[in-house]
Homo-oligomer: A and B are copies of this chain.
Amino acid sequence: MAKELVFGHQNPDTDAIAAALAASYYLNKKGLDTEAVALGAPNDETNFALKYFGVKTPRIIDKADTKEVVLVDHNEAGQSVSNIKDLTVTHVFDHHKIDFKTSAPLFYHAEALGSTSTILYGFFKKDGIKIPKDLAGMMLSALISDTLLLKSPTTTDVDRQVIKELAEDAEISDYDKYGLELLKAGTDLSKKSEKDLIDGDAKSFQFGNKTYRIGQVNTVDIQSVLARKDALKKEIETENKEKGFAGFLFVITDILNSNSVALYFGDDQTKIESAFNREFKDDVIDLPGVVSRKKQIVPPLTESFN
């Protein structure tokens, strides 16, 4: 029989890939027979980590060909494989808000920690399972990526402790230095098309009865991204029309200064303004201090739309 598939969300970031690798390794040690796969090609940052630690890129799928699956770093159907409704989810490991429905009990563990990899580290530790060096490196990279090197408000004391332990397991003596290299590897946007930029890390969210899209890019130079506003607008409006999104919020985050601005094209612009208590000027809204989609963007939007 085919192995049970383990995967993170579409448009995988480093945590989606690393947590799938970690959960698969962990569950196999617990007696399951699983394979980590990815719902899309790794981004530049993840490729940097895969190469650095000599880890093979997981097989890429968009539809699962097994009956049972494990979800990591996501739980909402819209962020998962296209045939999720026909599958049985046996386990979820996640650190996001929950919008999940099943017809039978399952294993579900979520915690508001900085990364899903941080959560999985706890399971390895609880059961006394040693994490191989290369896997620890990927999990370390995921923790660094999701917390922007412990700067995101999603960072917890647990993350601050686990980063040290994972760095040790991964034999990284200076995780700050490694972390900056990793984050910078993901910020060279100059060679990317506007379509790449808006699709890169975008996720769909249901607010009311409509589907909205929220994308995010990390950069060290917000102005050079904003300089491409007209081309981004054109691409976003095409995507809204083709995929039926009611709106698209494109967040541009300065990882060095922990600030963001966002572009928005779509319905209900005023609901976005009231979510953040700020106004759009020329389609751009300032989001000072905002770096976390999960903690600082989705919750106020959910409140404002519902």
Contact = CB atoms under 8 A, between A and B. Distances in A.
A161 B112 CA distance: 30
B105 A95 contact: yes
A101 interface: yes
A263 B149 CA distance: 59
A98 B96 contact: no
A8 to B, nearest CB: 16
A230 interface: no
A299 B108 contact: no
A101 B299 CA distance: 12
Contacts of A98: 98, 100-102, 105-106, 108
Interface in A263-306: 294-295, 298-299, 302-303, 306
A105 B303 contact: no
A295 B111 CA distance: 26
Contacts of A97: 102-106
A174 to B, nearest CB: 30
Contacts of A306: 103
A302 to B, nearest CB: 4
A116 to B, nearest CB: 11
Interface string A86-114: 00000000011111111111111111100
A111 B92 CA distance: 10
B100 A100 contact: yes
A97 B95 CA distance: 19
Contacts of A295: 104-105
A106 B94 CA distance: 10
Nearest to A122: B126
Contact of A103 (B101, B105, B302): B302
B111 A107 contact: yes
A298 B302 CA distance: 30
Interface string A218-255: 00000000000000000000000000000000000000
Contact of A106 (B101, B110, B302): B110
Contacts of A102: 97-99
A294 B99 CA distance: 20
Given A97-B103, A108-B108, A108-B109, 9 more contacts: A95-B105, A96-B105, A98-B98, A98-B100, A98-B102, A99-B101, A103-B299, A106-B112, A107-B112
**7 cross-chain pairs, A with B, having the tightest CB-CB distances, nearest first:** A103-B302, A105-B112, A108-B110, A99-B101, A104-B299, A103-B299, A97-B102
16 contacts: A95-B105, A97-B102, A97-B104, A97-B106, A98-B100, A99-B101, A100-B101, A103-B298, A104-B299, A105-B110, A105-B111, A105-B112, A105-B294, A105-B295, A107-B110, A108-B108
